[in-house]
């Protein structure tokens, strides 16, 4: 009898464990930034955020050692006019990738303590509602023609 | 109340007609459309020198309206222009790109000088009083707007075109933001004809 009960309890626990729980699973890829002009007070960070999980998540804040203040910004080109706005959070849907790239969303480094130079690494963090705070290291790339937009982009 | 509606319909029709007329006017008389962009200006360069648009006549040039707290559009545009000028070669050795600040509050001549130094000797920063900047922006039909973004901080929405001016000081064409090289080069080469 005891053995039967043990087996039943074991089976129940096993069954419960097998019930899928909704979870976000965030990874960060290709975090990069662009070298700034000497004397620049602002810079931008870009990264590919991947959510391999079954639950949506939301990027809510960011930090960077080289910046006095960091915000999440969205850029929109409307009829030839460039508009940039801070946003409170960026949704990362379940199973999807969200790319922060030139012309779209970026991490805005404000009050730069020093200009960003090609080859530098900017250390910081990204905080998500569910996944918590993840460390990030942006590799600073040289300013170059096209600034990383590589022909795709300019979505509306 | 039927009269009210009739009036509205007539007003709408007249408005639509006016818009159509305006568009036809501009498109069918390109001379006048071109003349509508640009105008005289006197601004302060990054070295503190006063630059009068009259003195720029005799050589084609480009003019762009931006600000140094702009993280993406402005550096990218300056980089693209430097690249295009490089490709043009000897023809463009004296070609200048004037970067007019739409944020004269923060963009002092020194700030402009430091900012533009990254892009090479063809870039010249221009700043001035709020009124002087407003006047030039009006002449070039440049949209710009200061937008607070919290904590006393602000950004500036602004037109992202590069305006190409001929040797006679008159407007010739615009370069769109990140326009493909071949199209941009064709437009620039025309300036030197």
| Closest chain A residue to the Cα of B175, Cα to Cα | A80
Q: Which chain A residues are closer than 8 Å to B68 by Cβ?
A: 37, 39-41
Could you read off the pLDDT tens digit of each residue along chain B, which spans 193 residues?
677 888 888 887 788 777 777 666 555 555 655 668 999 999 999 999 999 999 999 999 999 999 999 999 999 999 999 999 999 999 999 999 999 999 999 999 999 999 999 999 999 999 999 999 999 999 999 999 999 988 889 999 999 999 999 999 999 999 999 999 999 999 999 999 8
Tell me the chain B residues in contact with residue A106 when contact means C-beta distances shorter than 8 Å. 71-72
SS3 content of chain A, % helix, strand, coil (to 5): 10, 50, 40
Q: How far is CA B46 from CA B62, B110, B140, B191, in A?
A: 17, 6, 21, 25
**Residue A72 vs residues A34, A68, A85, B10: alpha-carbon distances, Å:** 16, 14, 8, 47
Cβ A81–B119 below 8 Å, yes or no?
Answer: no
Phi, psi dihedrals of residue A61, rounded to the nearest 5°: -160, 170
Which of A4-18, A39-53, A97-111, B179-193 shows the lowest mean pLDDT across its residues? A4-18
ipTM: 0.76
Q: How far apart are CA A129 and CA A60, in angstroms?
A: 7
pTM: 0.80
Mean pLDDT computed over every residue of chain A: 87
Distance, in Å, from the CA atom of B82 to the CA atom of B66, rounded to the nearest integer, reads 16
Which chain A residue lies closest to B180 (C-alpha atoms)?
A151
Interface residues of B toward A, Cβ cutoff 8 Å, are 68-73, 75-76, 79-80, 83, 111, 114-119, 143, 147, 149-151, 153, 155, 157-161, 176-178
CB atoms within 10 A of CB A103: 21
Q: Predicted confidence band at A18 (pLDDT cuts at 50, 70, 90)?
A: low
HSE toward the beta carbon, residue B129, CA cutoff 13 A: 3
Residue A57 DSSP one-character state:
E
């Amino acid at each position: 009898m005891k053995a039967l009960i043990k087996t039943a309890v074991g089976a129940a626990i096993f069954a419960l464990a097998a019930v899928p729980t909704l979870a976000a699973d965030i990874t960060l890829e290709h975090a990069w930034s662009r070298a700034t002009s000497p004397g620049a007070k602002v810079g931008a960070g870009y990264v590919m955020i991947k959510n391999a999980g079954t639950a949506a998540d939301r990027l809510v804040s960011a930090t960077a050692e080289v910046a006095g203040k960091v915000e999440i910004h969205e850029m929109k080109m409307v009829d030839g006019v460039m508009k940039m706005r801070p946003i409170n959070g960026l949704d990362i849907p379940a199973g999807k990738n969200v790319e922060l790239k030139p012309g779209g969303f970026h991490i805005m480094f404000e009050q730069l303590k020093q200009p960003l130079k090609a080859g530098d690494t900017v250390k910081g963090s990204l905080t998500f509602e569910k996944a918590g705070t993840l460390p990030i290291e942006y590799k600073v790339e040289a300013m170059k023609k096209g600034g990383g937009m590589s022909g795709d982009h300019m979505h509306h | 109340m039927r009269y009210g509606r009739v009036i509205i319909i007539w007003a709408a029709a007249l408005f639509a007609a006016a818009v159509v007329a305006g568009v036809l006017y501009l498109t069918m008389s390109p001379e006048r459309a071109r003349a509508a962009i640009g105008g005289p200006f006197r601004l302060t360069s990054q070295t503190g020198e006063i630059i009068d648009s009259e003195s720029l006549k005799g050589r084609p040039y480009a003019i762009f309206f931006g600000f140094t707290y702009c993280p993406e559009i402005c550096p990218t545009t300056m980089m693209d222009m430097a690249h295009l000028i490089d490709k043009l070669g000897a023809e463009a050795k004296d070609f200048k790109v004037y970067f007019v600040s739409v944020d004269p509050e923060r963009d002092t001549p020194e700030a402009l000088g430091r900012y533009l130094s990254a892009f090479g000797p063809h870039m010249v920063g221009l700043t001035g009083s709020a009124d002087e900047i407003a006047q030039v922006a009006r002449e070039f039909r440049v949209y710009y707007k200061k937008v607070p973004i919290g904590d006393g901080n602000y950004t500036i929405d602004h037109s992202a075109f590069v305006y190409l001016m001929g040797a006679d000081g008159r407007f010739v064409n615009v370069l769109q933001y990140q326009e493909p090289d071949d199209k941009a080069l064709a437009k620039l080469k025309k300036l030197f004809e």
